Structure 1
Amino acid sequence: MTEQENKKVEYQVLARKYRPQGFEDLIGQDALVRTLKNAIETGRIAHAFMLTGIRGVGKTTTARIIAKALNYTGADGKAGPTTGNTDDCDVCHAIAEGNHPDVIEMDAASHTGVDDMRDLIDGVRYAPASARYKIYIIDEVHMLSKNAFNALLKTLEEPPAHVKFIFATTEIRKIPVTVLSRCQRFDLRRIDFDVLKQHYKKICQKEGASFDEEAIDMITRAADGSVRDGLSILDQAIALGNGEVNSAIVTSMLGLSDVTKMLDIFEAIMGGKTEISLALFGEVYANGVDPAQAIETLLDLTHMMTKAKVLKDKANMVELAAGDIQRGRDMAAKLSMPSLNRAWQILTKGLTEVKTATHPFKAAEMVLIRLIYAADMPDPSDLLKKIESGAIANTETAQQTVSTSNGGGAQLKMVAQGNGGNVQAHVQPTVQPVQQEAVAFSSLEELHNYLKPREVLLAGEIYEYAHPVLFKKGHIELAVSDGIREGFFNRLSKALKQHSGQSFMVVPSDDRRKPTLAVIEAQSIANALAEAAEQPDIKKVLSLFPGSKVAEILYDDKE
């Protein structure tokens, strides 16, 4: 095999090649590093660690670094635990390669059961073969079953002195509190944008790859605080650009929208320019940008503009290229807070629509049109101020209606006349709503029949699970069987209020002596079948077919 072929075989992806090997290599986790270093140096080493954080921030890597630090023996095999360099230790080399017998790495996703925990507990009793500590690293520990966690509790509380547990998880809320209380917890934070950006630039330099700032910014934003995610993107970009990482390659590779172009679209939308907005959006779509991703970019811009509106020059506008930052600040200063809030709400709802639509591009266009017309709407509070001050002086009549609920059924209508700004107020009577007929229920069947055409799902729950207890005017008391959806009584009260216009006190009870409608009907059918089976003609038929029974009674529609 040639040397070139050897290099191809031995190639490692960047995420593995530049995996931290010591505490000094960990980036963005200063509090974690300082705590662990102090604990090791002073001998205050916990028997169990819980590492939590998003994917790609270094949980498993930190677990291996801890394992190496605790089992460090130095070149002569006599050194104790260290927080420094471990390159001269054979034990540490074996741990880094993942083949040391005393450092056992388990994937909880594939070892979820009690039997797996029993095997682990059995192994805990035995002393380490060659290392100082026997260390169990369990990744994605939240995947363990409840019984597996319970089986581990006693050992986790009082493990042998030679055993250490290191758990890693992305779902800390799924870990039982009984397990958390037995561990020393460390939360690995997302890596800051600037720290991550510098890290990727250093790796590009080590790899001999040229890059531009905008491309690294794009990769860092896409990484969203995850070192591994960004390294995977960077690895792909270097390969795609044949050693060159530029913004065009990254944009094409990730299907990202050109932020400058999206800023043009955002400016056109907030200015109410429909034709320009749709034309620019069509260009972006033609360049291969996913419509949902474009809406997400507009959401990012809305968020950035809102922060710039509040924080002024202190706002960090990392989403924009260097040449667009001042333009973004100027745009934020011109936009009103209500218009930005409307834009956020419309885009947030629109993103869900685009992701679920059969034709995402058309759905995205509809979202933009909705946003354009909403952005063109005047702010109601500003309009009222202008009307009251006489500032409106158009040649045509400007009319704004403000409804007030004063309990008397009247509507206040304010009309601003052109050229003079004269304000006239007219009180117009409104039609009082027709009073609905009072609704009352004396039985569970009446309640079910009332809701069946109006709230079919709720009526189904009443039929299947509700036990009648007490019915009187404005008061309903029910007991429910296990299996009913949460919030039943609240949903029932709201539905009755909505459809009848009356308030009912719906009270839960534990009295299940009276049967549900489903049980009553089932019993009625069973009685009818038993009665039918006793008919002489039916008895003769049943006797001709041993083991047969009456299954169903069908009635003639003419009867």
Structure 2
Amino acid sequence: MSYVVLARKYRPRSFEQMVGQEAVVRALTNALERGRLHHAYLFTGTRGIGKTTVSRILAKSLNCTGPDGCGGVTAHPCGVCQACTEIDADRYMDYVELDAASNRGIDEIRDLLERAAYKPSVGRFKVFMIDEAHQLTKESFNALLKTLEEPPEYLKFVLATTDPEKMLPTVLSRCLQFNLRPMAPEVVHEHLQRVLDAEGVSAEPGALRLLARAARGSMRDALSLTDQAIAYGGGALDEAGVRAMLGSVDPHHAERLVDALARRDGAEVLAGVDTLREAGLSAAATLESMALLLQRMAVAQAVPEALDDADPDTAIVRRLADALPADETQLLYSLVVHGRAELGLAPDEYAGLTMTLLRLLAFAAGGAPGAAARAASAAASGGEAARASGGEAAAASRAGAAPLRIAPRAQTTVARPGPAAARATPPVAVVRAAPTRAAEAPSHRAGAPAAEEHAPWDRGADDPARAEDALDAGAPVTAPSRTVAPEAALAPTALGERWAAVVAELDRRQAIGALVRELALQAELVEVDDAAGPPRWRLRVARESLRAPVHRDKLQAALAGQLGHALQLEVDAGEVADSPALREAAERERRQREAEQLIRDDPLVRELMAQFETARIVPGSIKPH
């Protein structure tokens, strides 16, 4: 007897044998047991998840006569009567499968409809199953519509498709639709273990995990890959052999790269890429392996108890989750996912892999977590976020608020037009000053109280008023030296006010762009010496990448052009407490608080909140503009 592949040999013959589709099985079982049978069914979902299998089981349930030949419609077909055995063997006269991928024309549908005019030959119902139904032509659908809507009582239609969006709405409205979902790797893993136990094939747990992930939710693909792995391994499945067959990268490579990135060890990252190159391992597979690891790390950081302690990789995942901050885990995951799409654009795939990994070092080191994530997201998507940031900042400076939406339990929505309205959001007590115009910014709090105020007669050397007086007199001014914590509040100074005005004018004239603009936005003016020749201005900025001489020289040239005379610009390292970006964030926070208070004080809002006990302001809907 010829060999039967696992996907066919272990194809479910009843609803009880179906795995991973409990919702669909439950609905069909209840309908069959209660006699609530629809005339047309539509099964949707990706390949290999059981659409045709469910159709065959449904056809058996409708036509099963039981072992004694006296049975009726049932949710548990016997599997031994003529209808059950012949449908399984694909030779039952009253069950017709039409592959619309190759039989999509009007002639095939007309032939099918002609056969529908005759009563069943041997069964209780005729069942017409059209696979890949979305590939039927429009004329074929139109010819089918009338019969699909009002078929004879002995006729049932079953349509299956991987792309329901391409189906005509008139067809969808005539069918009872069931969506079969991709199966979780754990479900696939368990089923493969049962199949291999039945086959008497030994398999390492790691090999089954690889096959379950490679199947991507398709049980048929999982069984086909298992067949291939058995042949590759000579009758046994070991993890190394399955990994070689699939072209997967050993997770230790992903672990090494993530560990190096967590330690900011660029040399180790390059060494890891070189190891992959020498071994001939795929860069795309490496990024996929890293994405899987980072996803599990994110789970460990958010819901630690969700990890399987029986998995030998869990200890590694937990260690790396502790080593890499949660925001940078999300950032690196985004970079890795986007980096796979860019490999084809790189000079070679390993150069693309290197650039993808080095982005984390470029964006995350020394910057605010949220700002770094936005910067990397912009870089990964072609810089769209960075190009759009100017308009975002301009929008943030407008006064007023958007319409109000209030949602009581009855889902009542009230719109109050006009400048006094706003969309509601929960109050924000503390907001990090990561301005929307800046791709990367040091982390500060906007809107927090300023430094302790002094009486006019008790002003020290660090007082802003004294600094302003000196600035007006043209004398050298040095901003007070301060150690600013990552969460420090904006501390306005006279020099900061002057620098913000200068940067705003440069920005208005579009005299600076890209990273030079970022340098200007993120920097704090800490010293001005107009008496020097040429005048000397000193900036302080946290980001190392912004302190590059090329950016400083371009900003110096732009300032000289605006001021009309030569200028000596110095850029030092250090945390900032008064930059244009921080001022903009503080102003945004002030407007947000005003908009929220405006909504809370609105008479109509108060009236609605009093009228409806369950009424609430929809969180996140107040946006000042």
TM-score > 0.5 by shorter chain: yes
Kept in 2, the 8 Å contact 1:271–1:375? The answer is no
Report matched runs for 1:409-428 at 5 Å.
Answer: 426-427=495-496, 428=499
Structure 1 match to 2:174: 182
Report matched runs for 1:348-427 at 5 Å.
Answer: 348-379=337-368, 383-384=442-443, 426-427=495-496
Kept in 1, the 8 Å contact 2:51–2:180? The answer is yes
Kept in 1, the 8 Å contact 2:253–2:286? The answer is no
User: Which one scores higher on RCO, CA 8 angstroms, separation ≥ 6?
Assistant: 2
Consecutive unaligned residues of structure 1, counting only runs of 5 or more, are 1-5, 391-412, 437-559
Question: Partners in 2 of 1:384 and 1:171 — Cα distance?
Answer: 45
Q: 1:270 to 1:414 in 2, by over 3 A?
A: farther
Structure 2 match to 1:301: 293
Secondary structure of 2:121's aligned partner: coil
1:55 shift after superposition: 1.2
Structure 2 match to 1:316: 307
> Which amino acid is 1:303 matched to?
Q
Aligned residues: 402
> Which amino acid is 1:372 matched to?
L
> Which amino acid is 1:55 matched to?
R
> Which amino acid is 1:241 matched to?
G
Structure 1 match to 2:591: none
Q: Is 2:238 the partner of 1:166?
A: no
The CA deviation string for residues 325-354 of structure 1, in whole angstroms up to 9 with x for no partner, is 133223223422332343233323322111
The CA deviation string for residues 191-235 of structure 1, in whole angstroms up to 9 with x for no partner, is 233322111011111111111111111111111221111111111
Question: Partners in 2 of 1:200 and 1:239 — Cα distance?
Answer: 16
Secondary structure of 1:51's aligned partner: strand
Counterpart pick for 2:105 among 113, 123, 126: 113
Question: Partners in 2 of 1:96 and 1:243 — Cα distance?
Answer: 28
User: Taking structure 1 as the reference length, what is the TM-score of the superposition?
Assistant: 0.66
1:383 shift after superposition: 4.9
1:154 shift after superposition: 0.7
Q: Among the aligned pairs, what percent are the same residue?
A: 37
> Which amino acid is 1:205 matched to?
D
Q: 1:153 to 1:292 in 2, by over 3 A?
A: same
Question: Partners in 1 of 2:233 and 2:199 — Cα distance?
Answer: 13
1:122 shift after superposition: 1.4
Report matched runs for 1:240-389 at 5 Å.
Answer: 240-311=232-303, 313-316=304-307, 322-379=311-368, 383-384=442-443
User: Taking structure 2 as the reference length, what is the TM-score of the superposition?
Assistant: 0.59
Kept in 2, the 8 Å contact 1:255–1:288? The answer is no
Question: Partners in 1 of 2:506 and 2:275 — Cα distance?
Answer: 52
1:48 shift after superposition: 0.9
1:430 shift after superposition: 2.0
Report matched runs for 1:492-503 at 5 Å.
Answer: none
Q: 1:384 to 1:155 in 2, by over 3 A?
A: closer
Kept in 2, the 8 Å contact 1:343–1:375? The answer is no
Structure 2 match to 1:86: 78
Q: Is 2:44 the partner of 1:52?
A: yes
Question: Partners in 2 of 1:435 and 1:71 — Cα distance?
Answer: 77
Structure 2 match to 1:520: none
Q: 1:220 to 1:273 in 2, by over 3 A?
A: same
Question: Partners in 2 of 1:134 and 1:182 — Cα distance?
Answer: 18
Secondary structure of 1:63's aligned partner: helix
Kept in 2, the 8 Å contact 1:416–1:424? The answer is no
Kept in 1, the 8 Å contact 2:40–2:148? The answer is yes
Q: Is 2:65 the partner of 1:73?
A: yes
The CA deviation string for residues 458-499 of structure 1, in whole angstroms up to 9 with x for no partner, is xxxxxxxxxxxxxxxxxxxxxxxxxxxxxxxxxxxxxxxxxx
1:30 shift after superposition: 1.8
Q: Is 2:6 the partner of 1:14?
A: yes
> Which amino acid is 1:323 matched to?
P
Structure 2 match to 1:430: 502
Secondary structure of 1:322's aligned partner: coil
The CA deviation string for residues 412-450 of structure 1, in whole angstroms up to 9 with x for no partner, is x989678999999533352635988xxxxxxxxxxxxxx
Report matched runs for 1:409-558 at 5 Å.
Answer: 426-427=495-496, 428=499, 430=502, 432-433=505-506
Consecutive unaligned residues of structure 2, counting only runs of 5 or more, are 372-431, 433-440, 452-477, 510-625
Secondary structure of 2:290's aligned partner: helix
Structure 2 match to 1:156: 148
Cα RMSD after superposing both structures: 3.1
Question: Partners in 2 of 1:203 and 1:12 — Cα distance?
Answer: 13
Identify the range of structure 1 (56-65 vs 25-34) with the bigger mean alpha-carbon deviation.
Answer: 25-34
Structure having the higher Rg = 1
The CA deviation string for residues 53-85 of structure 1, in whole angstroms up to 9 with x for no partner, is 121111101101111111112344332222224
> Which amino acid is 1:365 matched to?
T
Counterpart pick for 1:198 among 182, 185, 190: 190
Question: Partners in 2 of 1:242 and 1:207 — Cα distance?
Answer: 14
The CA deviation string for residues 253-310 of structure 1, in whole angstroms up to 9 with x for no partner, is 1111112331121111222111212222332344343211211222233333223222
1:50 shift after superposition: 0.7
Q: 1:317 to 1:270 in 2, by over 3 A?
A: farther
Displaced runs of 4 or more, over 4 A: 380-386, 413-425, 433-436
